[in-house]
């Protein structure tokens, strides 16, 4: 059960918290002000005093006349206060040690490293592909920012198609139920469409998008055009796709604050889940449980568009394999996403150098890239105290946006990196899966996420997308050309919040957008 955000107005106590013997109790407030129910959120990392402090500081505000204390420091003590420019997402956390700065910079160099095909004289850099989408992490995550769909002459480097089909046998259904796999790849093309290949090998194909325009009329008569995409694959290099294979477009996500997200105690996220909508508010956030290969245990998924990864390291290793075709100790597939049907791909040499280990990117490489990814700082808020920003914040709360976009958390005291420990952070996400309606459905289940469910993306840094990435394309496939369009695509569990936004006056809608642009 989750704290309730009441649309159109906020009750005097939107979420009342008190101490319990085992943790922090979160109470739901009914429309008449009565306590409707309670659960205990376990935080074994906290003392009783800590629990009281956390309960107080994470309580949703009801005062929109001034900013909250520390609100401008979105990433806690690690927040970057560097000048706003195209490198705003590429700063290291302000509170890491001097020695860790060196580790961060080494990881940055490897993140930018261009891999080459095998065999090569640069043996520490070969192993690319043989089928791949990018030659470097930075190619997809340019400036550590948000990807985009192809526009005009632009390529699709920061956007790709995930391929998957439903289970077809009892053994496959059992494997899915046991979380051994998130879904099943196309039998020929694998889990991801690779639009590039090493010399002498055909690429798998290319993504093509067709858009149709739809008009939405908002309160006051303002008209907004939304573009609805359809996805196709052209130039297939290895025959047809399986008839049951689904196409799921994904743009790359911004990298800021990943280590802080990992440091949120799972009990705080699980405490927000309400999979059966027990409180009847129409929001049924669901936690994704995934098998973490390094831990060999079930863990809370919190990364990726469908919360399919439990850790930054897991996400990094999968990206090395799926995007670049580089094996790591965690995902030791030296031929990347090549399938058994792609015999020419499997016959090509790989880049494994036994003296470095049994993978193309040995453990030190994965360790450094993971550290870099975990310690990219969240930029500080801009204009958090401005009147229009505060007015927009009030609308954001009162239309019910915070029901899924949970404003703040305090990270765990026992975080693996001291810099991430016990920080008040403002990601604006509950990191749960939500049904976003048929309009945003991709029809592709991933683990516990259905074809209509997506993880709530964090909003910190969203206002700097244009500055860093040079565009304002949003949502999982970049269909939204601005924040207004992104909100209007919300459906399913977010339909009430969307309707609330559409029903605001033009000035109030603009104030809400101004608030988002300040994040």
**Same domain flag for 122 and 246:** yes
What was the pLDDT predicted at 309?
Answer: 96
Answer whether residue 246 is part of any domain.
Answer: yes
Is there a domain that residue 32 lies in? yes
Q: Give the pLDDT confidence of 388-408 residue by residue, as tens digits.
A: 999 999 999 999 999 999 999
Does residue 7 surpass a pLDDT of 70?
A: no
User: Is 292 contained in some domain?
Assistant: no
Q: Show the domain range for 46.
A: 1-62
Within a domain: 279: no
pLDDT band at 151 (very low <50, low <70, confident <90, very high): confident
- Residues 234 and 302: their CA atoms lie apart, in Å, by 33
Domain end among 345, 372, 399: 372
User: Taking residues 212-221, what's their average pLDDT?
Assistant: 98
> What letter would DSSP give residue 439?
G
Residues 213 and 344 both lie in one domain: yes
Q: Which residues contact 474 (CB under 8 A, 6 or more apart)?
A: 146, 462, 465, 480, 482, 483, 485, 486
Res 41: pLDDT: 56
Residue 474, strand partner residues: 480
Angle between helices 387-398 and 506-518 (to 10 degrees): 100
- Asked whether the CA dihedral 296, 299, 305, 306 is positive or negative, the reply is positive
Distance CA 508, CA 432 (A): 28
Whether residue 518 has pLDDT greater than 70: yes
Q: What single string gives the DSSP state of each residue in 61-80? A: P---SSPPTTTT-TTGGG-B
How many structural domains is the chain composed of? 2
Within this chain, do residues 53 and 107 fall inside the same structural domain, yes or no? no
Average pLDDT over the chain, rounded to an integer: 91
Domain identity same for 57 and 105: no
Over residues 279-294, the pLDDT tens digits come to 999 999 999 999 988 7
Condensed to tens digits (0 to 9), the pLDDT of residues 225-279 reads 999 999 999 999 999 999 999 999 999 999 999 999 999 999 999 999 999 999 9
User: Would you tell me how many other CB atoms lie within 10 Å of the CB of residue 153?
Assistant: 5
To the question of pTM greater than 0.85 for the whole model, the response is: yes
**CA–CA gap between residue 493 and residue 282 (Å, rounded):** 6
Q: Is residue 79 part of a domain?
A: no
| Residue 58 and residue 105 in one domain | no
Q: What is the pLDDT of residue 1?
A: 46
Tokens coding 112? 């930018």
Residues 116 and 24 in one domain: no
Per-residue pLDDT, 152: 63
Q: Is residue 352 part of a domain?
A: yes
Give the tokens for residue 296. Answer: 């060999």
pLDDT value for 201: 97
Greater confidence (427 vs 123) lies with 427
pLDDT at 8: 27
Close Cβ partners of 109 (under 8 Å, ≥ 6 residues apart) = none
The token duo for 484 is: 């207004």
Give, for 109, the enclosing helix (H) or strand (E): helix 98-112
For the chain, the farthest-separated pair of C-alpha atoms sits apart, in whole angstroms, at 73
Category of 235 on φ-ψ map: left (φ > 0), alpha (ψ -120 to 50) or beta: left
210 and 346 in a common domain: yes
Q: Are residues 39 and 144 in the same domain?
A: no
Q: Do 153 and 247 have their domain in common?
A: yes
Q: 228 and 105 in one domain?
A: yes
List the structure tokens of 188.
């020929």
Integer Cα distance of 392 and 402 in angstroms: 13
Q: Cα-Cα-Cα-Cα dihedral of 459, 481, 433, 327, to 10°?
A: -90
Domain termination residue (choose one: 351, 372, 393): 372
Do 252 and 351 have their domain in common?
Answer: yes
Token pair of 459, please? 């909003």
Instruction: Give the pLDDT confidence of 372-390 residue by residue, as tens digits.
Output: 999 999 999 999 999 999 9
Q: Which tokens sit at 238?
A: 């290895």
273: in domain:
no
Q: Quick one: pLDDT band at residue 295, thresholds 50, 70, 90?
A: confident
Residue 496 domain flag: no
Secondary structure of 351-389 in the HEC alphabet? CCCHHHCCCCCCHHHHHHHHHHHHCECCECCCCCCCHHH
Same domain, 119 and 19: no
* Predicted local confidence at residue 35, as pLDDT: 31
């Amino acid at each position: 059960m989750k704290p309730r955000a009441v649309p159109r107005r906020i009750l005097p106590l939107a979420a009342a918290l008190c101490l319990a013997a085992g943790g922090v109790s979160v109470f739901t407030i009914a429309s008449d002000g009565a306590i409707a129910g309670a659960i205990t959120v376990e935080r074994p990392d906290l003392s009783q005093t800590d629990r009281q402090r956390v309960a107080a500081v994470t309580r949703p505000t009801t005062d929109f006349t001034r900013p909250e204390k520390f609100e401008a420091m979105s990433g806690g003590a690690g927040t970057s206060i560097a000048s706003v420019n195209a490198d705003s997402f590429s700063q290291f956390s302000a509170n890491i040690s001097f020695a860790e700065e060196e580790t961060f910079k080494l990881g940055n160099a490897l993140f930018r490293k261009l891999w080459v095909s095998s065999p090569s004289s640069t043996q520490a850099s070969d192993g690319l592909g043989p089928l791949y989408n990018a030659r470097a992490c930075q190619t997809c995550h340019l400036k550590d920012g948000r990807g985009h769909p192809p526009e005009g002459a632009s390529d699709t480097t920061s956007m790709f198609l995930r391929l998957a089909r439903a289970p077809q046998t009892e053994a496959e259904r059992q494997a899915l139920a046991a979380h051994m796999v998130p879904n099943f790849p196309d039998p020929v093309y694998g889990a991801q469409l690779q639009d590039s290949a090493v010399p002498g090998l055909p690429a798998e194909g290319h993504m093509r998008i067709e858009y149709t325009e739809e008009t939405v009329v908002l309160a006051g008569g303002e008209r907004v055009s939304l573009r609805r995409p359809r996805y196709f694959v052209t130039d297939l290099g290895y025959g047809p796709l399986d008839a049951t294979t689904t196409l799921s477009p994904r743009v790359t996500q911004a990298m800021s604050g990943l280590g802080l997200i990992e440091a949120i105690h799972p009990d705080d996220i699980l405490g927000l889940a309400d999979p059966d909508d027990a409180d009847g508010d129409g929001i049924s956030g669901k936690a994704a449980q995934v098998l973490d290969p390094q831990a060999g245990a079930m863990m809370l998924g919190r990364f990726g568009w469908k919360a399919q990864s439990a850790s930054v390291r897991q996400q990094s290793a999968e990206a090395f394999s799926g995007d670049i075709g580089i094996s790591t100790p965690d995902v030791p597939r030296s031929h990347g996403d090549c399938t058994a049907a792609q015999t020419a791909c499997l016959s090509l040499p790989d880049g494994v150098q036994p003296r470095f280990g049994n993978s193309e990117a040995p453990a030190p490489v994965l360790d450094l890239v993971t550290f870099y990814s975990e310690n990219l700082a969240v930029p500080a808020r801009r204009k958090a105290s401005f009147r229009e920003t505060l007015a927009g914040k009030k609308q954001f709360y009162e239309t019910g946006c915070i029901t899924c976009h949970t404003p703040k958390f305090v990270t765990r005291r026992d975080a693996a990196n001291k810099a991430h420990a016990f920080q008040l952070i403002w990601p604006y996400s509950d990191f749960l899966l939500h049904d976003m309606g048929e309009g945003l459905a991709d029809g592709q289940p991933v683990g516990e996420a259905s074809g209509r469910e997506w993880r709530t993306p964090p909003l910190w840094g969203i206002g700097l997308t244009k500055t860093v990435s040079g565009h304002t394309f949003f949502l999982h496939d970049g269909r939204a050309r601005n924040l207004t369009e992104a909100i209007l695509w919300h459906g399913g569990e977010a339909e009430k919040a969307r309707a609330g936004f559409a029903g605001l006056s033009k000035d109030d809608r603009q104030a809400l957008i101004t608030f988002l642009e300040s994040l």
